[in-house]
Structure 1
Amino acid sequence: MSEIKHGAPEIPNPLRVFMTFESTGWFDTTKEQKEREILPALNDILESWRHNGSELLGTFDRDIFTAGHAGPNNWHACFLFNIPDLQTVTNMTHSFREAGLDRYFRLEASIGRPFFLVEK
């Protein structure tokens, strides 16, 4: 059996970023708040991310077999991006704070790399 050589991981350029998205205070809002305030602000932020140098690789929403609070996974949906630098990642997470959306959603970024056994 051959041995797999595995050195120290190299930080990719662009960064590979996995963002988890959880609805928190969303469940305590009215339909009117959602439609008039929250969703327009969220859509503005997501649209701004299309123009910040990031590349959206994919999304995943767990709502096929779930409803309500996120439960032990602590997220409802996720985004996978290639992002040019750490400041852009910080700007993306801060955009939720700046817009006041952190009252309704939790966004968390994790930085990794393409899985070396699959993507070379």
Structure 2
Amino acid sequence: MAGIKHGAPQVPSPLRVMIYFESTGWFNTTGEEKTNEILPTLNEVIASWKENGSELLGTFDRDILTAGPAGNTGWHACFLYNIPDLQTVADMTHSFRETGLDKYFRLEAVIGRPFFLLEKN
């Protein structure tokens, strides 16, 4: 059986980026810290991502059948974005470092493209 022939994958513009989100130190904080410090900062950072030209396409939270640490998957939720360029991706992950959110959460960005069999341009 012959395979589908196509050239090398083309890097899309904007970039298609999956951001994996894992709660780490979050579990070692008090309810007061979560409510008064961590969640307001997290909400500010994520709101700022709306202003950098990124488009949120969807989210996925694994919490229906899981609780506690992420385990082998290494993530609790993921966010799918179209992002203008690689520097913007780096700025988004860095926003967790510069605000101290990396003490409570881990981010990992993966760059891909729309799946050609399901999303045709």
TM more than 0.5: yes
How much has 1:102 moved relative to structure 2? Answer: 0.3
Partner of 1:69: 69
| Aligned alpha-carbon RMSD (Å) | 0.9
Give identity over the alignment, percent: 73
TM-score with structure 2 setting the length: 0.96
Partner of 2:30: 30
Q: How does 1:78-93 map to 2 (within 5 A)?
A: 78-93=78-93
Return the alpha-carbon distance in structure 1 between the equivalents of residues 14 and 45 of structure 2. 21
Partner of 1:54: 54
Deviations 1:41-65 (A, max 9, x none): 0000010011110000000000000
How much has 1:6 moved relative to structure 2? Answer: 2.6
Segments of 5+ residues of structure 1 without an aligned counterpart are none
Partner of 2:114: 114
Segments of 5+ residues of structure 2 without an aligned counterpart are none
Where do 4+ consecutive residues of structure 1 move more than 3 Å?
A: none
TM-score with structure 1 setting the length: 0.97
